[in-house]
Amino acid sequence: MPEGVSSLLRPLVLVVEDEAAISTMLRYNLEKQGFRVAEAGDGEAALRMVGESPPDLVLLDWMLPALSGIEVCRQLRRRPATHHLPIIMLTARAEDQDAVRGLNTGADDYVTKPFAVEALIARIHALLRRSQTVSAGGPLQFHGLVLDVAAHRVSRNGRAIHLGPTEFRLLEFFLQHPRRVFSREELLDAVWGREIHVEPRTVDVHIRRLRKAINGEGEPDVVRTVRAAGYALDEEHS
Ligand code: CA
């Protein structure tokens, strides 16, 4: 690939995978799609590389020697510089329960092995889109919550809030339609995109994370759970 300005505009994906065959296959397919690719064979190397040349997205294998994918994810989320970094976990089918735990740890999405490369690429595009959402207009507001899309900043009652790309997009969508109840499927369409399959329970995980982030001590929960219907941004308690 030629170096230059154009190469800098191509998103950099860091592949963290100890199985060389999978890593090579991912590099081949990602480069074919126009991504730049960096590879790390273990968690330590991944954390070092993220510090040296920050990627736009991390594909993180769950099963790694020494430092597990979950631990790498946790450490990335703890650092302010990588708090928002889009992360997709790669898991084996038998670890499906663990995958949900992975989402709770801070991953934005997960893909189960063996996966179709096309499906993985679609998820990468969708996640990058969510993390790069830009729209015109002033900040969106609701009960002390302020979301500035252009500056990618969120605060509540003046307190800065750090959200991952998925929670950011979820909150943005809610703020665009306050008090309207959305089903999990509607939220999946609006936030994740129609072209990828995500399980409805994934929405619950991200709602939980969004709540935890935006509701501070003594502040009312502004995310309303509507039984058998879905969720709404609302000041009323159910
Ligand atoms: Ca592995």
Q: Pick the range with the lowest mean pLDDT from 66-75, 144-153, 206-215.
A: 144-153
pLDDT of residue 80: 77
CA 182 to centroid of ligand 1, rounded, Å:
37
Q: pLDDT tens digits, residue range 163-203?
A: 999 999 999 999 988 888 999 988 988 888 766 778 888 99
Q: Which CATH number fits domain 3-131: 3.40.50.2300, 3.30.565.10, 3.40.462.10, 1.10.287.90?
A: 3.40.50.2300
Mean pLDDT of 119-129: 90
Locate the domains of the chain by residue range: 3-131, 140-233
3-131 and 140-233, same CATH topology: no
Concatenated DSSP letters of 106-141? T-SEEEEES--HHHHHHHHHHHHHHHT----SS-EE
CA dist 210 → 95, 169, 231 (Å): 25, 10, 12
pLDDT of residue 93: 61
CA 21 to centroid of ligand 1, rounded, Å:
11
Q: Higher model confidence: residue 110 or residue 98?
A: 110
Query: Between the ranges 56-65, 93-102, 106-115, 123-132, where is the mean pLDDT highest?
Result: 56-65
Confidence of residue 130 (pLDDT cuts 50, 70, 90): confident
What fold is seen in the domain 140-233?
Arc Repressor Mutant, subunit A (1.10.10)
CA 63 to centroid of ligand 1, rounded, Å:
4
To the question of pTM greater than 0.95 for the whole model, the response is no
pLDDT of residue 4: 43
CA 129 to centroid of ligand 1, rounded, Å:
27
